[in-house]
Amino acid sequence: MQGDRILLEGIQVPAALGVTSAERRMRRPVLLDLEVFRDLRGAGRSDRIGQTLHYGRIYDVVADVASNIEHKLVEALAERIARAVLSKFDADAVTVTVRKPKPIAGVLEYTGVQISRRRDDLDGD
C-alpha cells in the first residue's frame, strides 16, 4: 500500500494464542507492528492532534484484542486487530504483522503473518 501512514512497531503484549487450550492459558507475548493508512497532510500543516489518530488509543485497542480475546491462529488475531482498528478509527487501511516468538522450542525465532485490509473490506459485515 502507498500513502501516508502511522507506524506502531514493536508492540509486545501477552496473548491467549495457540491451537491447544494449554497454550492459550500460558498467555505468552506476541510482537505486533501496525501501519495505519490515513491522509496526514492536515495534521502536518496544523500541528493539531485532532487532525490525526491518537496513537495511544490505537495501542489500547490492539492490546485489548490481543490480551483479552482467545485466538487459535495468528491469522485470526491479525484479522481481528485489523477489523478493530478500521471499525474504531478513521483509517483508510491497515497492515498488521503478528509474530509469535519461539513457537517451536529451539527451532524457530518466530512464526507470523502480515495482512493488509482496507475500510472497504468491512462493508457488508
Q: Which amino acids are annotated catalytic?
A: 100
Q: Which three cell numbers stand for residue 29?
A: 507475548
CB 32 within 8 A of CB 97: yes
* CA end-to-end span of the chain: 23
What is the CB neighbour count within 10 angstroms for residue 125? 7
Distance CA 64, CA 2 (A): 28
